[in-house]
Amino acid sequence: MKVVAVQWDCRFGDPEFNFNRAMELMEREPGDIYVLPELCLSGYNFNDIREVEDLSEESHGNYARRFMDFSLERNCYISYGFAEKVSEGVYNSANLIGPDGLIGTYRKIHLFNRETLFFLPGDRSLKVYDTPIGKLGLMVCFDWFFPESARILALQGTELILHPSNLVLSWCPDAMRYHALWNGVYTATSNRIGKEDRGGRLIEYIGRSIIYSPQGELLAEASYDDEGACSAELVLSLAREKKLNRYNDRIQSRQPEFYSEISVI
């Protein structure tokens, strides 16, 4: 199975441009599953809530349906980040789409920095989706900072974590190696490149979309500043083997009865 992490310089406030650019880059690199950046249709550096609302759509909205058309035509799966409109406000969400349509929507739990001004915190648990090509988990960008995110997905049996991102912290691509290693899963992070300078706030994105194996091996890495994709062939059955050696297992060797005694500061 081939996973493709796509990155480009998303244009703020221009979802049609961003959708078409995603299509161009996916068509260049045939794959079984694609992961696209966080908020890849709208852009990220919002000035106010009105912009967020104007650039949001429902989980089954226009662009979701157009991604579904591509997925059906190519018999592939797509994970992408978008601003999800609901009656109460807007979530920073990621859709997982397959040939049969929308599989699921994850709403980002760990909001980063000024996201807290514009988005509702996620109200759904991290979940693994059992698809014909494997067990897929979703998390979004800053979720990487919290080890519990990947661990919860691993405990539910995920084989591949799809990670739409808009990364600005340089540690993340390297940290994903350890999420993969500690949990014995594949990880595929899609970031974006370029800058957004809006309202006197400059945000620079670090590229380096990256894919790791359950052994923490670097399988593919994109550049800091070029549009395109990185890809790797995965054998998802390897993510079901959690043993490190004859005596240690990533999951079974845990001691949760002791962890529960730790008091929160």
Tokens 């043993």 belong to: 243
- Is 141 a known active-site residue? yes
Residues 6+ apart with CB under 8 A from 148: none
Going by the DSSP 8-state scheme, the letter that residue 150 receives in this structure is: H
Query: Residue type at 35?
Result: V
Pick the catalytic residue: 38, 51, 159, 196? 38
DSSP helix/strand/coil, 237: helix
CA dihedral (74, 43, 57, 229) in degrees, to 10, reads 10
Pick the catalytic residue: 141, 159, 196, 230? 141
Q: What gap in Å lies between CA 94 and CA 83, rounded to an integer?
A: 8
Paired strand residues for 57: 84
Query: Residue type at 112?
Result: F
Pick the catalytic residue: 108, 159, 196, 230? 108
DSSP helix/strand/coil, 36: coil
Q: Which conformational region is residue 207 in: left (phi greater than 0), alpha (psi within -120 to 50 degrees), or beta?
A: left
User: According to DSSP H, which parts of the chain are helical?
Assistant: 15-28, 49-54, 62-74, 115-118, 147-155, 172-183, 256-259
Active site residues: 38, 108, 141
